[in-house]
């Protein structure tokens, strides 16, 4: 209408929840199962940023196209080569696992992305990404990234017992699930042990690596711990149910948040999806992997999971199946209600 004020359209980068992953070597299947878990439960549109070796690119494109259109319309995907903007690429590649250091360069490479959730390939979402995305709103003015603690109990934590370099807090943080405000990271100056005046993120990475490379065990995660040791005010720490690992149950249950709310994001590190050490983790991975997209979530996902869990009750993690099932059950009920009840409501006026 004449004189009516038009609201500018939200830029597409804000309409999306951005999810980044780095996949090299034999991580194709694991990455696809992680992306599948993201698409199954999330509400808002997703933008995938997949950093992969050249040989994996055609495979990713092919497999993602095979998903049914009811799901492919929920996301867009971009596949990037592995690149390191500063320092020696071969050195970065050798850090911990091939390509893992790529995540350190996301603020530099994805210049047009405001905020991002980075996850390792061995992560599974048991509730909508929307829920962890909302934590960005809880950042105070100095916080620019969020991670979960590496351990809940310093006396059995890795960093508190073995680290030969500075680390965040009393037990360090785990970088397998990392929420980032990239705009803030790009504009911040970070305190460090090198230059008193502070350095930008990109300026800091290589000198910091050079200084500590003989003392770090877990590669890029150690570098992030060093960065946030010097800049603790920049980090928002979210609770363990957002990055739930075998360590949280294999020594007895030590993640209270998961006991109360259920696991929100499962992180099957130590290769537990592919061996017999933690059958509870493996059961979740296999059920999501084998779930036919268009099937009923309860019939083809939840019930098989319950029956697989019965075989794991002899293990420490298997003793607490409700921790693994609580959030996924809640999520599936919501998905079911959205699909069925909303549909019925639209067709039946009571």
Give yes or no: residues 161 and 61 share one domain: yes
Query: Helices 28-41 and 57-65: crossing angle, nearest 10°?
Result: 30
Give yes or no: residues 232 and 257 share one domain: no
Give yes or no: residues 223 and 125 share one domain: yes
Give yes or no: residues 105 and 152 share one domain: yes
- Establish if 38 belongs to a structural domain: yes
- Final residue of a structural domain among 238, 271, 302: 238
Query: 213: domain range?
Result: 17-238
Angle of CA points 238, 240, 244, to nearest 5°: 130
CA distance 74 to 79: 17
- Establish if 94 belongs to a structural domain: yes
Give yes or no: residues 133 and 257 share one domain: no
Give yes or no: residues 264 and 200 share one domain: no
Alpha helix ranges (H) inside 42-176: 57-65, 69-72, 89-94, 106-109, 129-133, 158-162
- Establish if 5 belongs to a structural domain: no
Give yes or no: residues 254 and 218 share one domain: no
Residues 6+ apart with CB under 8 A from 264: 125, 126, 127, 131, 132, 241, 242, 244, 258, 327
What is the number of domains present in the chain?
2
- Final residue of a structural domain among 238, 263, 289: 238
pTM, whole model, 2 decimals? 0.91
Give yes or no: residues 227 and 287 share one domain: no
Give yes or no: residues 197 and 248 share one domain: no
Give yes or no: residues 114 and 225 share one domain: yes
Give yes or no: residues 212 and 247 share one domain: no
**DSSP for residue 337:** I
- Establish if 120 belongs to a structural domain: yes
CA distances for 154 relative to 162, 229, 233, angstroms:
11, 16, 21
CB 279 within 8 A of CB 261: no
Give yes or no: residues 119 and 166 share one domain: yes
Going residue by residue through the chain, which has 350 residues, state the pLDDT in tens, using 9 for 90 and above: 444 333 333 344 458 999 999 998 899 999 999 999 999 999 999 999 999 999 999 999 999 999 999 999 999 999 999 887 777 777 766 665 657 788 999 999 999 999 999 999 999 999 999 999 999 999 999 999 999 999 887 777 777 776 778 888 888 899 999 999 999 999 999 999 888 889 999 999 988 888 988 878 877 898 999 999 999 999 999 999 999 999 999 888 899 999 999 999 999 998 999 999 999 999 999 999 999 998 888 899 999 999 999 999 999 999 999 999 999 999 988 887 877 765 565 555 44
- Establish if 282 belongs to a structural domain: yes
Residues 6+ apart with CB under 8 A from 187: none
- Establish if 187 belongs to a structural domain: yes
- Establish if 226 belongs to a structural domain: yes
- Final residue of a structural domain among 238, 268, 296: 238
- Establish if 141 belongs to a structural domain: yes
- Check which CATH number belongs to the domain holding 74 and give it: 3.90.550.10
Q: Is 90 left (phi over 0), alpha (psi -120 to 50) or beta?
A: alpha
């Amino acid at each position: 209408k004449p004189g009516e004020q038009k609201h500018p359209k939200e830029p597409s980068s804000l309409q999306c929840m951005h999810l980044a992953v780095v996949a090299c070597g034999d991580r194709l299947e694991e990455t696809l199962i992680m992306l599948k878990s993201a698409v199954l439960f999330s509400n808002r549109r997703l933008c995938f940023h997949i950093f992969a070796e050249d040989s994996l690119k055609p495979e990713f494109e092919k497999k993602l196209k095979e998903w049914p259109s009811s799901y492919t319309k929920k996301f867009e995907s971009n596949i990037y080569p592995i690149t390191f903007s500063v320092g020696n690429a071969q050195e970065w590649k050798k850090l911990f696992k091939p390509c893992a250091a790529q995540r350190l360069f996301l603020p530099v490479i994805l210049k047009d992305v405001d905020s991002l959730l980075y996850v390792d390939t061995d992560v599974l979402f048991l509730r909508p990404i929307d829920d962890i995305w909302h934590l960005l709103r809880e950042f105070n003015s100095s916080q620019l990234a969020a991670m979960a603690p590496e351990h809940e109990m310093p006396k059995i934590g890795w960093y508190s017992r073995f680290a030969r370099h500075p680390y965040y807090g009393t037990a360090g943080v785990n970088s397998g699930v990392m929420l980032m405000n990239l705009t803030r990271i790009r504009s911040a100056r970070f305190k460090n042990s090198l230059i008193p005046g502070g350095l930008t993120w990109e300026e800091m990475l290589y000198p910091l690596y050079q200084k500590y490379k003989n003392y770090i065990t877990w590669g890029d995660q150690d570098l992030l711990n060093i960065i946030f040791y010097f800049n603790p005010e920049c980090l928002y720490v979210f609770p363990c149910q957002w990055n739930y690992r075998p360590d949280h149950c294999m020594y007895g249950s030590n993640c209270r948040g998961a006991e109360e709310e259920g696991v929100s994001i499962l992180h099957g590190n130590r290769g537990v999806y592919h061996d017999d050490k933690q059958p509870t983790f493996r059961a979740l991975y296999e059920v999501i992997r084998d779930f036919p997209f268009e099937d009923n979530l309860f019939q083809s996902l939840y019930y098989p999971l319950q029956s697989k869990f019965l075989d794991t009750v002899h293990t420490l993690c298997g003793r607490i199946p409700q921790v693994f099932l609580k959030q996924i059950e809640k999520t599936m009920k919501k998905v079911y209600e959205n699909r069925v009840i909303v549909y019925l409501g639209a067709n039946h006026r009571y």
